[in-house]
Structure 1
Amino acid sequence: MKKILTCAVVAVASTISLSAVAGGNVDAGKALAEKYNCASCHGKDYNSPIDPSYPKLAGQHVDYLQHALIAYRRGGDAMNGRTNAIMGAQAKALTDQDIQNIAAYLHSLPGTLVLRK
């Protein structure tokens, strides 16, 4: 019985830590967002961008944020890349883990996006 309980605890702990890594680290994402000064364009709450053409990031879907950052990192000449001088320069230095962390952080924030059903 003790062996079964130990195996169950290890399995649950492994699953929890794997999902935390796969989902990104919110605290690390917050530090990166501050380091790259994302709020200077997207607003201090990430809900009030300085230009209406800039997206609101708070509460946005993780997969959208990851896709967008990867596309900016690829650049406009690459397949599925995006062209924007500011975002391209910001995203160029990001690792895949950085992108997961930033996406996790921004997704965790309360947002004003309206989801359609």
Structure 2
Amino acid sequence: MTLRARLRRGAALSLAASLVLPVAAGPAFADGNAAAGRKKAQACAPCHGIDGLAKLPNAANLAGETVFYLDKQLKAFRAGERKDENMTVVAKALSDQDIADLAAWYSSIEVSVKLPGQ
């Protein structure tokens, strides 16, 4: 392999690593406690269910969502970056630890899927 080819390959690998590493490392999250999250989720149960399956037509299913997604959405509601009449009010009272615990709980719920006709 020529020097030029090795340099191009090295540059390509460096670029790939710089794109992948931040995603793999992800943002720093507080360690959530699923057991504590289950207790805190009692307040969420009327809309989202303790099992994470929505009880209201306009509420999101939370079961099996990723910690990253749940953390990001709850913080967006808390900051007012995402708006919903109920969630904006509820999320304002949540600490970072509350959010981590709720994310740990809802993300730990296993969801199974059955395709129609099977």
Q: Is the 8 A contact 1:47 1:58 kept in 2?
A: yes
Structure 1 unaligned spans of 5+? 1-20, 76-80
Matches within 5 A, 1:1-117: 22-34=30-42, 37-51=43-57, 53-75=58-80, 81-112=81-112
* TM-score normalised by structure 1 residue count: 0.65
Shift of 1:44: 4.2
Q: 1:50 to 1:113 in 2, by over 3 A?
A: farther
**Shift in CA distance, 113/24, structure 1 to aligned 2, threshold 3 Å:** farther
Unaligned stretches of 5+ residues in structure 2: 1-28
Using the alignment, how far apart are the partners of 1:112 and 1:47 within structure 2? 12
Give, as a single letter, the amino acid of the residue that structure 2 aligns with 1:60: E
Which has the higher mean CA deviation after the structures are superposed, 87-96 or 103-112?
Answer: 103-112
TM-score where L is the length of structure 2: 0.65
Go from structure 1 to structure 2 and tell me whether the alpha carbon gap of 1:66 and 1:113 turns closer, same or farther (over 3 Å shift): farther
Letter matched to residue 57 of structure 1: L
Are the equivalent residues in 1 in contact too, given 2:41–2:50 (CA < 8 A)? Answer: no
Q: Matched residues in 1 for 2:60 and 2:49: separation? A: 10
What percent identity do the matched residue pairs reach?
A: 41
